[in-house]
Structure 1
């Protein structure tokens, strides 16, 4: 039986345009000649549009590389899930099955799904196995996925560059970094740690070298929760103990890490931003309630979730037959933790 691509080839029109025309897309603008060629190809190939009567719902599978509890405790992953749920409503889609890390994924179940959304990074051997069962995959928050698979993620390279430029404009050169190791997951549920793999860290290191600040480049890497942030801050304080080149600014890879950073800096009587300017990533709700309030990069995880569903719907409907990588813009939300001049003005006003 002829399909959309067969009709498109016969009509010498893209598969995307052919699908949109045959599905009566009101926003599609094509010439009458193009319409005629498509209809002629439909008649010649005896193309019959697939009926939806025998199939009441279109089902998407979801794999989250967190335990169920950790997903809801992490505001970044929680907002991705909320975006996915709202995206499903917008496109009249249903979740057929949800997996969390450690769950056994059934290949037959994957084959029965219309698309599969993966939140987080899998080792490529496992991802290849999933792709063999279902090619309508969308990766969320995975920067290093194969080029043939759809992906959506925040622009960490641009945002980290913007953070460093902001700090150097404020006069900082001795800028350190606290972050977490990049993680990927094996099918067994075990983690593979990549200490130098996080894109924020790699961009920081490269930027410092490119701007002749490599001698001030110091990074402290561990896990991703507030206790890890506290531990890495203690490591930083120990590293610079009795040294004259103590950093004047600190880039922190996430707001949960920054909570631990704040605790240790307060304990050590290091003032922010007077002694140490701090900028983080996430722009979570906690950023406004820390003292001083935390300058943080808005990453748009909710929009990532919605975008992933839209991309999956395009694959299911056949309106796009090429892989797409969506890089979402970020924004620095300025607060007190890095703005010394504003802090001083507020004190004197």
Structure 2
């Protein structure tokens, strides 16, 4: 595992700055470019594969991101997906064209394929497919519309968290999750983790609606919803909390610490994604590891396969996850 010092040296900043950025310290006054550089270095240092010899090919692959650059910094999960895709694109000798959902874009002849990162509205899907370029959706299942897709097995992931909590004696299990809107604000995306959490705990006869709090997928929202749970539930606060992503979990951890609630002795906490931040908070965060680099690489591989073979049948690749247990849970 890379150290804070390793990241600091490569990013050209102090170790204290790296620590505060990775802990989402809102009192730290550094620009978004510095934050971006730190997060990118932290993610890059997680990659262990050797680079292939770069070939030279004509054409660009466009990465369409249904987020803004600011949103990418708030949840570096999408940054990590992008970096995995960019790495494979470079290995295969193509140039990457990055397009965020809030930036103007026109299709040009030198674009040979499209990688779509994240969930987008039906209108946005239609716009992408109207261009007639090979396309692969990452983190968004479009097999029903016969487009290649790379997704996470959320069912397996959420069940692994809940099974661990139950196996370690927890019967009061809470959830702090988020809602997202499509990039064009045409609708709300119902998070799959929330639905699976409810259905599985109902099956186990352990679901309590009052233990669930939903806002957005940000550190601030996790902090505020955890504070709300502590205030409303008091002594009935669950002994185990599953957070919809790692930034939410970081906010939860901060709120619990402010209230003097010990983690994991009083409340066990598990996040989701295993972004680089998870290792550097205190206590270090137990979380579901999503293989974001592999997702990005796999999406590009599917796209290149489609380009080379001109196959008509769409493919969906579902990747498993791993539960990584660290200091925020009693194991």
Shorter-chain TM-score bucket reads 0.7 to 0.9
Give 1:225's aligned residue.
Answer: 218
Aligned to 2:62: 61
For the pair 1:178 / 2:171, whether they are aligned, the reply is no
Instruction: Give the match for residue 202 of structure 2.
Output: 209
Q: How does 1:263-274 map to 2 (within 5 A)?
A: 263-274=254-265
What's the RMSD between the two structures over aligned residues?
2.1
Summarize the alignment of residues 151-190 of structure 1 with structure 2, pairs less than 5 Å apart: 151-186=149-184, 190=185
- The 3-state SS of whatever aligns with 1:121 is coil
Contact 1:139 1:145 in 2 (8 A): no
Q: Distance in 2 between matches of 1:319 and 1:145?
A: 17
- Give the deviation of 1:192 after TM superposition: 3.2
Matches within 5 A, 1:126-141: 126-141=124-139
Deviation at residue 191 of structure 1 after TM alignment: 6.3
Q: Is the 8 A contact 2:74 2:218 kept in 1?
A: no
- Structure 1 residues 204-261: Cα deviation after superposition (integer angstroms, max 9, x where no partner): 01101111112366211111111111111112112203xx532111001111111111
User: Which residue number corresponds to residue 45 of structure 1?
Assistant: none
Gaps of 5+ in 2: 1-55
Once the two structures are overlaid, the 10-residue window that deviates more, 69-78 or 320-329, is 69-78
Note closer, same or farther for the CA distance 1:148–1:276 as it changes in structure 2 (3 Å cut). Answer: same
TM-score, with length taken from structure 1 = 0.74
Whether 1:80 aligns to 2:78 is no
**Structure 1 segments of 4 or more deviating over 6 A?**
none
> Which ranges in structure 1 are unaligned for 5 or more consecutive residues?
1-54, 343-349
Q: How many equivalent residue pairs?
A: 276
Q: Distance in 1 between matches of 2:275 and 2:207?
A: 30
Larger radius of gyration: 1
Shift of 1:150: 0.9
Q: 1:144 to 1:272 in 2, by over 3 A?
A: farther
Asked whether 1:122 is paired with 2:103, we answer no
| 1:1-349 pair list within 5 angstroms | 57-72=58-73, 74-95=75-96, 97-106=97-106, 108-109=107-108, 113-143=111-141, 146-186=144-184, 190=185, 192-194=187-189, 197-215=190-208, 218-241=211-234, 244-318=235-309, 320-339=311-330
Contact 2:273 2:287 in 1 (8 A): yes
CA distance in 2, matches of 1:221, 1:143: 23
Change (3 A) 1:150 1:180: same
